[in-house]
Structure 1
Amino acid sequence: MSVRAGDLRGYQRNDIPDVLLSNRFLELFSRDMSDRDGFRPSDGTSDRGEVVVAFNGDHYFHRFELTLPADSSIKGNPDGSLAISGPAFDMGMSVRFEGMAESIPAEYMTEYVNVYPTLVREYEVELGLTVSVRRSLIFGGRRWRYHLWIDSFAHEMSKSFDFKSHLADMNWPMVSAMLHCMRQRPSQDEGPAEAITVAAPPTPVPDRAEVRSEE
């Protein structure tokens, strides 16, 4: 089903001031490039158009833009959660952090993140997503296809924020086994490992054998 340009609306930072006041994370990462750490005040402008994505060493910038159906609205709640409402559905997004520690494989930190595990504190963060669908969407004929993005969005959120899914996608058990085998393999400078031969102890032989025959 094709989507007309008038069916969508793009929300910029200036369009949601009440949301930014109640959500410090969104307020920080929706800032312009010139207001972000690691970038110069002159960054963010280009003769070829507006900068959408940029890297500067360890710093990453992605221009904030929220695209929703034109007849939807978004607001921030006092607890920091977001509420998106429309004629066909209501969606709520929340983040819960209670300071609970989380366990991450040490090899993952050293080999993938490239940091020492002792320098990192690991915590558990829970992402909540609720969707309430109205009857008008179910009985709206072919119009329901217009809102199929809700299901794909929920799947993408779960895949992006679930650490266990991330490890499964990269086949971490096999990667961890390969890293272990590589550490056990001697380097080329050391040369091949010498084989150690263990000989069985000799069978004891008596000094003199006596043979007696009886007639």
Structure 2
Amino acid sequence: MRECKNNINPISDLLLERTSLIQLILVAVFIGFSVSLIVSSITLLHGFRPVIGIIVGLIICLSTLLYIFTTILKNLKTSKIINGFIYYNNDKNILIDVPRYEYSSEINEFLQRAFIESKDLKYIWEREPLSVFNDEDYENVPRSSDLIIEATEYFILDRISMHMQSYFHGLNIKDKNIYTFTPEQIPDVLLKNRFFMVFSKSLNERADFAEAAIENDENEEWYLCISENGTMFKKFELFLPRKAKLRRVNKKAIEIQTNRFSMIITIDFDGTNTFIPHNFEKYYLRLNNIFEANLFNISIKLDIKFKFKSLFLPSGWVYYKWVDSLIETMEELISEENFLESINWKTTSTILQCTDPDCIPINRMEQNE
């Protein structure tokens, strides 16, 4: 299986590999024909046993076929790991907002809005906070970590929905080859995500939106509504190629299945810390005490597996090329590396080290340690 590092275009790569495969097969046919002529001539030589030629020919043929199929199967799988981060205030039991980092900002907003409406979620967050990870002898993973995973899953699916709408809008959204999924059609995904249950619940069933529900025109669709006290309604629709499916693999993973490939999105959050460049907390987040915050890593893994038949389908790929741009979008929104590049932190850090005497260079910190 290929690990997609700098290359983030699995569909384009597959099509290129398919072209290369066709070229390889054509070359193999011509070489095989040439070899057959040579072998036929050799068998006419005095003393050559035909059985030996048959055995050697079969071995070469089978070895070649095995190599080709192994190469094909290996290239049908690819994966991409995106590492993001969240800052957590231990004393206040809240997430610290990171300006211009969309993933962190939206996860923080989801938690706060969900806590306003759901006392159960707020109870879990306060009863088993993320600060439990600081205890060296902790035995059970705090249930608040499940909320981070579910909020991240909601964030990803919400962004996939937005991405699909934008992508398919240019293809004519009423196309018969495109299907629209609503929350009622993917219950196994939504029922195990408490943020979906809170934010997607009908306006007519929520007290905070009673006035909006009364004023709502039956012919008018609401996509986003925020009440006076901060609770949120957000409509969810997911556009996918016809016959595609969205299912839950486990509490950390969901899968999108299509006729040509499947993509499993796995979210891993286990309290592992990550590294951020020195001086980031002090100068960018304005934290007076860097020890008041925990920096947690969150990992999103995308496993894409193409079906064998997809190699032989020449048309219809326009309905699936959204995967390439989706991976790129996920990196822009979540990746720690991309975020630091987007705010040009290396240059900023260099300027700070040259102008601010309180900004300690990395090598000096290492020497002091």
Taking structure 1 as the reference length, the TM-score comes to 0.64
Q: Which has the higher strand share?
A: 1
1:138 is displaced (CA, Å) by 2.9
Aligned to 2:295: 122
1:101 is displaced (CA, Å) by 1.3
Asked if the contact 2:209–2:227 (Cα under 8 Å) also holds between the matched residues in 1, the reply is no
User: SS at the partner of 1:98?
Assistant: coil
* 1:22 aligned onto 2:195: no
In 1: Cα distance, 2:199 partner to 2:233 partner: 8
In structure 1, runs of 5+ residues without a counterpart are: 185-215
User: SS at the partner of 2:269?
Assistant: strand
Task: Specify whether residues 19 and 49 from structure 1 end up closer, same or farther in structure 2 by C-alpha distance, changes over 3 A only.
Answer: closer
1:129 is displaced (CA, Å) by 0.5
Q: How many residues align?
A: 183
* 1:132 aligned onto 2:305: yes
In 1: Cα distance, 2:234 partner to 2:355 partner: 37
* 1:10 aligned onto 2:186: no
Structure with the larger RCO, 1 or 2 (CA within 8 Å, 6+ apart): 2
Aligned to 1:213: none
Asked if the contact 1:94–1:128 (Cα under 8 Å) also holds between the matched residues in 2, the reply is yes
1:9 is displaced (CA, Å) by 2.0
1:63 is displaced (CA, Å) by 3.5
In 2: Cα distance, 1:125 partner to 1:179 partner: 28
Q: How does 1:27-42 map to 2 (within 5 A)?
A: 27=197, 30-31=200-201, 40-42=208-210
1:180 is displaced (CA, Å) by 6.0
Aligned to 1:142: 315
TM-superposition CA deviations, 1:83-117 (whole Å, max 9, x none): 11121111111101121112335754465556664
Please tell me the residue identity of whatever aligns with 2:209: P
In 1: Cα distance, 2:230 partner to 2:354 partner: 31
State percent identity of aligned pairs. 23
Asked if the contact 2:201–2:233 (Cα under 8 Å) also holds between the matched residues in 1, the reply is no
In 1: Cα distance, 2:292 partner to 2:189 partner: 34
Asked if the contact 1:76–1:83 (Cα under 8 Å) also holds between the matched residues in 2, the reply is yes
* 1:88 aligned onto 2:260: yes
Aligned equivalent of 2:240, options 64, 68, 78? 68
In 1: Cα distance, 2:278 partner to 2:232 partner: 25
Aligned to 1:175: 348
Taking structure 2 as the reference length, the TM-score comes to 0.41
Q: CA RMSD in A?
A: 3.9
